[in-house]
Amino acid sequence: MATHGQASFWAQANALLRKNLTYQRKNIWTNVRLVLVPLFLCLILLAIQLLFDSLMNSVSDKCGTNNDFQSTDCPIPNPPLLPPMLAIPQPKSRAVKANFFPYNDLPLESCRKTGTCPVTILFTGSNHSFGKALSGNIFGGSFAVNTSDLLPSLAHNVLAATQETGDNNYADPAISKDFPVYNIQPQCSPNSTWPLSFGQTKTAVKCVQGLSLWRNTSAAINDELFKGSWRGNPERLTNEIAAAYDLLSTDGKNFNVTIWYNSTNTDGSSGQRLVRVPRLISLISNAYLKFLKGPGTSILFQFVKEVPRHGSKSNTDIASLLGPLFFTWVVLLLFPVILTSLVYEKQERLRIIMKMHGLGDGPYWMISYAYFLTISFLYVVSLVIFGSAIGLKYFRINDYSIQFVFYFIFINLQIAFAFLVSLVFSKVKTVTVLAYILVFGSGLLGSSLFEELLESPSFPDIWILALELYPGFALYRGLYEFSQSAFRGNGMKWENVSEAGMNKLFIIMSVEWLVILIVAYQIDQVSSSGRSIFFCFKKSSSLSSPSTQRQSSDDGVLIDMEKPDVAQEREKVQQLRKEGSTGHAIVCDNLRKVYPGTDGNPKKLAVRGLYLDVPSGECFGMLGPNGAGKTSFINMMTGLLKPTSGTALVQGFDICKDMNKVYTSMGVCPQHDLLWETLTGREHLLFYGRLKNIKGSALTQAVEESLKSVSLFDGGVADKPAGKYSGGMKRRLSVAISLIGNPQVVYMDEPSTGLDPASRNNLWTVIQRAKQNTAIILTTHSMEEAEFLCDRLGIFVDGGLQCIGNPKELKGRYGGSYVFTMTTSSEHEEKVERMVQHISPNAKKVYHLAGTQKFEIPKQEVMIADLFSMVEKAKSKFTVFAWGLADTTLEDVFFKVATQAFSSS
């Protein structure tokens, strides 16, 4: 059969596409599940929304009870009238005499024990006597109230509270049965407390002494207020002043006052305490009025009242509220899926095995990209459809075409980004963990940090754009803008796209997508075929002076005793290289692989300067103990490993420079089967056949022949998924794959391991038939296989060829002796030995035990006939239980070579 030439880009793409379609069709449920994930998530969102709504409804049902004022959702058509009060410190923290105050007019500290400390209000101004007059008017007399005319009568008293105000001004927490309201008076008679009913609430009014003190300057007041707070003085004492007035230049004509008041709640929030402040103003105004018009005059400050409120029955749109974070996660969830899928193909070496059979990077990228794009697209479409279907405003209100553009650009960016990241990693586990951290981290950082920055007016726009270079934040930004539009209820339209900053986002993402895609593709190219840059330039120097390298200390010992056959192979290769001949299928020129030493171990020479020439039509067998470097060698030849120095030509193409061209004429049967569990044997072969550019009926025929030749055709085996195959069947399929399309060069790494004798013989016939137009390099542990299949053999020990030649030659060279065994009773041992010595003085006894002896007899010293007659003679003299004569086997050669090499190194 002729070869079919190199498959075109489209033929490769077609092959991969068909394989992937078959593969994905078998994994259809995985895909469907993935596409349905948004449905589940939308349903979860819906459930949360419904839960939230019903919770809110049940809360608003309670409106009408006493708790009305606390729930922000209850309507308050008639807010209550609240008596205005002053805020005063707790009894224990009211100002008393202290070291850090230079004033003697404050009360003694002992008042704290009895709870009778007065409430201090400070005054200052430009006219002391005027100030004295005003401050004397400020507090009223004894508590008096007309219960049938409550608020106006309360307004005559100076009421005060130590309780803070609540969240709103619809209720005053100070009015409660649990603690008193204070009435500030110039003097208190002991235990003066009055009951007071305020609406349904019964409380008590308690007298507290008010102290108005004069200070010379406003700076002095400031200082006193400052030090009065516990942080303000070295003794860390609380010494609080209730309030202070600066009367400035107020006189009979001008009224001009500054008021110090405390607006802090204990929780640190300020504001909302204004219900306590107006009374301070009314106090000083009334004092001034009294000063001007006499004691009977006053303006009554009867009540404060908040504006009526509508109930804000919850229509909180959870989707818009949680939207950006939630949907960032939902959309980013695709990232781990894509990334792990890419890294999985790398980890399982599926990508490289496809590449070895001629799949170019271009078709691989195109088809993988198209698949990820399709699945991402379906995923996002399903998100938008389901989201809209369950009525999320988030999706419904924003223009669908904007959403389409946004998601489309983003999923492209995400795929490109995944391709880029996948280049760095080779372990699925690592990459899975990393990807999920990235997904959740992006969401959380987006909502906690990026959103803050977005909303902060002082954060420069340019930095926002810079942050959006990170795809996770770009996604967050877009979703955030959608949610804002949904929240405001106007929806995003193309007219206001630029307002929301979406147009810049689109540009950033598109440009980034293009850049990342190109960069990732380039890196992929360089990392897979650009090793020439780093590795192969050493080649020319090593070729011109092979001897210099041979004397280097690490491999000197072995090369010193280079065998003539190995030397001959080297000369042949050097001759070929000098002539520039390209006709030979495989020419290895001083191929070396050194693994760098790690953790203080010395560096390891896996392959030391290998010269090898394998012409087309030859099967070259590589024998050697485990760890000799055979697999390193095969890996270099198949492009899995980069040679440390030296190179090899395959069909005239350099494996350092033109690996991609080498791949088109190569077949590989790796040591471990690299198969897709769900694809059948036939589908595997169809795929690889198409990669080898076999088309139409020729393809069907080739696949069928191939299946038959490895006996996978009968009994429907060909149409069972490879995952169900036994080890031997997988092995045979791998061999069939390596041979399909008649590649010029085939590497087989222990092809018949684990096969039963029948299938092994079968396989051998296949390989033998295939080798007519093909150069095959095969490693094996089976001498039988080597002898049967290989035209030439090389024994590979400790990184170098120890000998090379066809099996017969080798046996002749290294064997050169018969093995003679004889078993007698033990008293005749000596006789036997003497007889053997007699016919062959150089015979060597290699083994003896209880009458059984084994000799090696050099071939040139004996005729077989002599041996037979010797046996006859022996039989006549004593009993011979058994005897045998054998030619040396390849196994003997192997042991000999291997042990020689080891003992000499």
Structure tokens at 49: 């929304």
Structure tokens at 289: 């009025």
**Least distance to ligand NAG, CB of residue 89, Å:** 6
Residue 438 CA to residue 341 CA, distance in Å, equals 16
Closer to ligand NAG by Cβ: residue 181 or 790:
181
Q: Which residues pair with 883 in a beta bridge?
A: 822
Closer to ligand NAG by Cβ: residue 140 or 228:
228
Which own/partner contact pairs does 287-293 have at CB distance under 8 Å and 24+ positions apart? 287/134, 287/135, 287/137, 287/138, 288/134, 288/250, 288/255, 290/137, 291/133, 291/134, 291/137, 292/252
Helix (H) or strand (E) holding 334: helix 334-347
578: which residues sit within 8 A by CB, 6+ positions away? none
Sign of CA dihedral 457, 462, 468, 470: negative
By DSSP bridging, strand 653-654 and strand 586-595 are: unpaired
**Cβ–Cβ < 8 Å for 669, 734:** yes
**Least distance to ligand NAG, CB of residue 69, Å:** 21
**Cβ–Cβ < 8 Å for 742, 2:** yes
**Cβ–Cβ < 8 Å for 399, 486:** no
Residue 504 CA to residue 459 CA, distance in Å, equals 17
Residue 648 CA to residue 417 CA, distance in Å, equals 36
Q: How many CB atoms lie within 10 A of CB 401?
A: 10
**Least distance to ligand NAG, CB of residue 254, Å:** 5
User: Largest alpha-carbon pair distance within the chain?
Assistant: 162
**Least distance to ligand NAG, CB of residue 126, Å:** 7
Is 222 a binder of ligand NAG (CB under 6 A)? no
Closer to ligand NAG by Cβ: residue 140 or 323:
140
Residue 5 CA to residue 752 CA, distance in Å, equals 29
Helix (H, G, I), strand (E, B) or coil at 736: helix
Structure tokens at 82: 């609240």
Closer to ligand NAG by Cβ: residue 195 or 556:
195
Closer to ligand NAG by Cβ: residue 105 or 461:
105
287: which residues sit within 8 A by CB, 6+ positions away? 134, 135, 137, 138
**Which of 148, 191, 540, 876 touches ligand NAG by CB under 6 A?**
148
**Least distance to ligand NAG, CB of residue 77, Å:** 26
Helix (H, G, I), strand (E, B) or coil at 604: strand
The total number of residues written for the chain in this structure:
905
Closer to ligand NAG by Cβ: residue 164 or 833:
164
**Least distance to ligand NAG, CB of residue 71, Å:** 25
Closer to ligand NAG by Cβ: residue 243 or 739:
243
**Least distance to ligand NAG, CB of residue 248, Å:** 4
Judged by CB under 6 A, the stretch of 244-252, 422-430, 480-488, 777-785 that binds ligand NAG is 244-252
Sign of CA dihedral 132, 135, 139, 140: positive
Judged by CB under 6 A, the stretch of 142-150, 173-181, 345-353, 628-636 that binds ligand NAG is 142-150
Q: State how far the alpha carbon of 579 is from the alpha carbons of 190, 572, 574, 575, 584, in Å.
A: 124, 11, 9, 6, 12
**Least distance to ligand NAG, CB of residue 97, Å:** 14
**Least distance to ligand NAG, CB of residue 388, Å:** 50
Closer to ligand NAG by Cβ: residue 229 or 700:
229
Judged by CB under 6 A, the stretch of 23-31, 141-149, 169-177, 849-857 that binds ligand NAG is 141-149
In 3D, which of 591, 576, 510 has the Cα closest to residue 800? 591
Torsion from C-alpha of 509, 513, 515, 517, nearest 10 degrees: 170
Is 149 a binder of ligand NAG (CB under 6 A)? yes
**Which residues, 252 to 271, sit near ligand NAG by CB under 6 A?**
254, 256, 262, 264-266
**Least distance to ligand NAG, CB of residue 43, Å:** 47
Is 172 a binder of ligand NAG (CB under 6 A)? no
**Least distance to ligand NAG, CB of residue 163, Å:** 9
Is 229 a binder of ligand NAG (CB under 6 A)? yes
**Least distance to ligand NAG, CB of residue 229, Å:** 4
254: which residues sit within 8 A by CB, 6+ positions away? none
Please count the residues of this chain forming the interface with ligand NAG, following the rule CB under 6 A.
22
In 3D, which of 3, 92, 211 has the Cα closest to residue 692? 3
Residue 771 CA to residue 769 CA, distance in Å, equals 6
Closer to ligand NAG by Cβ: residue 215 or 682:
215
Judged by CB under 6 A, the stretch of 127-135, 430-438, 492-500, 834-842 that binds ligand NAG is 127-135
Is 133 a binder of ligand NAG (CB under 6 A)? yes
Closer to ligand NAG by Cβ: residue 256 or 374:
256
In 3D, which of 377, 358, 374 has the Cα closest to residue 366? 374
Closer to ligand NAG by Cβ: residue 248 or 385:
248
Closer to ligand NAG by Cβ: residue 256 or 761:
256
**Cβ–Cβ < 8 Å for 646, 596:** no
Is 127 a binder of ligand NAG (CB under 6 A)? yes
Site string for ligand NAG, 266-305 (x = CB under 6 A): x---------------------------------------
**Least distance to ligand NAG, CB of residue 45, Å:** 42
Judged by CB under 6 A, the stretch of 126-134, 392-400, 698-706, 846-854 that binds ligand NAG is 126-134
Helix (H, G, I), strand (E, B) or coil at 589: strand
Which own/partner contact pairs does 522-525 have at CB distance under 8 Å and 24+ positions apart? 523/420, 523/423, 524/361, 524/365, 524/419, 524/423, 525/361
Structure tokens at 248: 């400035």
In 3D, which of 569, 665, 585 has the Cα closest to residue 618? 585
Judged by CB under 6 A, the stretch of 125-133, 201-209, 375-383, 501-509 that binds ligand NAG is 125-133
Site string for ligand NAG, 463-492 (x = CB under 6 A): ------------------------------
Is 194 a binder of ligand NAG (CB under 6 A)? no
Closer to ligand NAG by Cβ: residue 255 or 369:
255
Judged by CB under 6 A, the stretch of 37-45, 144-152, 728-736, 817-825 that binds ligand NAG is 144-152
Closer to ligand NAG by Cβ: residue 244 or 874:
244
Closer to ligand NAG by Cβ: residue 257 or 804:
257
Helix (H) or strand (E) holding 793: strand 792-797
**Which of 248, 385, 465, 526 touches ligand NAG by CB under 6 A?**
248
Closer to ligand NAG by Cβ: residue 129 or 697:
129
**Cβ–Cβ < 8 Å for 387, 34:** no
**Which of 27, 146, 193, 448 touches ligand NAG by CB under 6 A?**
146
**Which of 216, 456, 522, 527 touches ligand NAG by CB under 6 A?**
216
Q: What is the CA radius of gyration of the chain?
A: 48
**Least distance to ligand NAG, CB of residue 231, Å:** 9
Closer to ligand NAG by Cβ: residue 234 or 580:
234
**Least distance to ligand NAG, CB of residue 307, Å:** 26
Site string for ligand NAG, 92-111 (x = CB under 6 A): ----------x---------
**Which of 172, 240, 512, 565 touches ligand NAG by CB under 6 A?**
240
- How are strands ordered across the β-sheet holding 586-595? 604-614, 586-595, 645-650, 653-654
Q: Which residues bind ligand NAG (CB under 6 A)?
A: 102, 127, 129-130, 133, 146, 148-149, 164, 216, 228-229, 240, 248-249, 251, 254, 256, 262, 264-266
